[in-house]
Amino acid sequence: MAVSTRRLTTGARKHGYAVPAVNVFDEISMRAVIAAAEEKDSPLIVQVSTKTVRTSGTAFITSLFQALTRHTSVPVALHLDHCPDRSVLSDVIAAGWSSVLFDASDRDLADAERETTEVVKEAHAAGVDVESEIENILGVEDGVGSDEAHHAYSVDQLAAIAERTGADLLAPQLGTSHGLFTSKPTLLPERARELAHLTDKGIVLHGGTGLEPADFRAFINNGVSKINISTAVKHAYMQASAEHLDWARANNHWDPPKLMTAIGDAVTSVIGDHIEWFGSDGMAAKAKAVKP
Ligand SMILES: [Zn+2]
């Protein structure tokens, strides 16, 4: 089954790279991102949104992941992205995924801490790691999130709360936002560094689509070990679909497997670029060597 997300990010921080955590929503995209990781010999985290879990079902996604990773040469984890819903979390934890992101950023601090502690207890009992988000990351993605900062805390508070809840990874506000940027964001790599000085827990960058390779490197050098990529996948998927359908119409040639190949190749290519920017290419063996 899936490898531990915490082990992958621990190895990444030790060796100075970030593990790409890529959102997928169907067989084509899951197959394509795993192919990119294999081509580049990179560890990988396959992520699925709560919305996709609700649409496709936990059992189907779990089986699909198992089928597609049965013979992979690289370590691949399976992660539930932003989930504020305790029943979906319980379902995924019971299915034995690598990790879940409990998104408590819509709760007040006291409730966020209490509920995160409960989720960590439930997840750890099943061998599942927990990413914790108590500050809200700007932007709306698959129906989760907000464009306003409701909850913002100091790095000392974030580190102290993470220690008390027992979470394995942290998703702080680092200046990015979900979706495509409308204006150049003010990035906060120094905030990642301050947090990395206070805790060994994995630090996660959300909303990375549209950043320059040098921006990713600055975050990684300051302690970020997991970088989420979602919008870039959706964009590559839809652009390749549109181009292929234009071609199909022009040539009156209607062959679904050709469309699927065109989409898969585009997604594999864009994720291959991100893997190189994150420095995780060629790191599969180092990732596998991290002790539990
Ligand atoms: Zn996110």
Mean pLDDT within 185-198: 94
What pLDDT, on a 0 to 100 scale, did the predictor assign at position 204?
98
Greater confidence, 151 or 190?
190
How do 44-48 and 224-229 pair as beta strands?
A: unpaired
What pLDDT, on a 0 to 100 scale, did the predictor assign at position 147?
66
pLDDT of 210 higher than 90: no
Non-local (6+) Cβ contacts of 89 within 8 A are: 80, 83, 100, 102, 119, 122, 123
CA angle 183, 186, 187 (to 5 degrees): 125
pLDDT tens for each residue of 278-287: 999 999 999 9
Q: CATH no. for residue 28?
A: 3.20.20.70
| Protein residues within 5 Å, CB atom, of ion ligand 1 | 206
Domain total for the chain? 1
pLDDT tens for each residue of 16-59: 999 999 999 999 999 999 999 999 999 999 999 999 999 999 99
Half-sphere exposure of 201 (CA within 13 A, CB side): 26
Query: Ligand 1 centre and the CA of 242: distance in Å?
Result: 26
Phi, psi of 152 (to 5 degrees): -140, 135
What pLDDT, on a 0 to 100 scale, did the predictor assign at position 150?
66
What pLDDT, on a 0 to 100 scale, did the predictor assign at position 100?
98
Report the percentage of the chain scoring pLDDT > 90: 87
Which residues does the annotation place in the binding site? Answer: 82, 103, 133, 178-179, 206-209, 228-231
Question: What tokens were used for 117?
Answer: 């502690």
* Distance of alpha carbon 190 from alpha carbon 34, whole angstroms: 32
Tell which residue, 175, 266, 271, 183, has the closest CA to residue 215.
Answer: 175
Per the annotation, the verdict on 81 as an active-site residue is yes
Query: Ligand 1 centre and the CA of 228: distance in Å?
Result: 7
pLDDT of 1 higher than 60: no
pLDDT of 143 higher than 70: no
Average pLDDT of the chain to the nearest whole number: 94
Mean pLDDT within 237-265: 98
Tell which residue, 90, 89, 11, 78, has the closest CA to residue 47.
Answer: 78
43-47, 100-104, 127-131, 176-180: lowest mean pLDDT where? 176-180
pLDDT of 202 higher than 90: yes
Query: Ligand 1 centre and the CA of 179: distance in Å?
Result: 9
Query: Ligand 1 centre and the CA of 204: distance in Å?
Result: 9
Give the residue numbers spanning the domain of 145: 5-289
pLDDT of 268 higher than 70: yes
What pLDDT, on a 0 to 100 scale, did the predictor assign at position 149?
66
Mean pLDDT within 210-217: 94
Q: Which of 81, 91, 142, 168 is catalytic?
A: 81
What secondary structure does DSSP assign to the chain, as a single string? -PPPHHHHHHHHHHHT--EEEEE--SHHHHHHHHHHHHHHT--EEEEE-HHHHHHH-HHHHHHHHHHHHTT-SS-EEEEEEEE--HHHHHHHHHTT-SEEEEE-TTS-HHHHHHHHHHHHHHHHHTT-EEEEE-SPPBEEETTEEESS------HHHHHHHHHHHT-SEE----S-BSSS-SS-----HHHHHHHHHH--SEEEE---TT--HHHHHHHHHTTEEEEEE-HHHHHHHHHHHHHHHHHHHHHT---HHHHHHHHHHHHHHHHHHHHHHHT-TT-HHHHHHS--
Mean pLDDT within 57-82: 97
Query: Ligand 1 centre and the CA of 260: distance in Å?
Result: 27
Mean pLDDT within 90-118: 97
pLDDT tens for each residue of 164-179: 999 999 999 999 888 7
Q: Would you place residue 12 in the very low, low, confident or very high pLDDT band (cuts 50, 70, 90)?
A: very high
Which residues does the annotation place in the binding site for Zn(2+)? Answer: 82, 103, 133, 178, 206
Which residues does the annotation place in the binding site for dihydroxyacetone phosphate? Answer: 179, 207-209, 228-231
Greater confidence, 140 or 217?
217
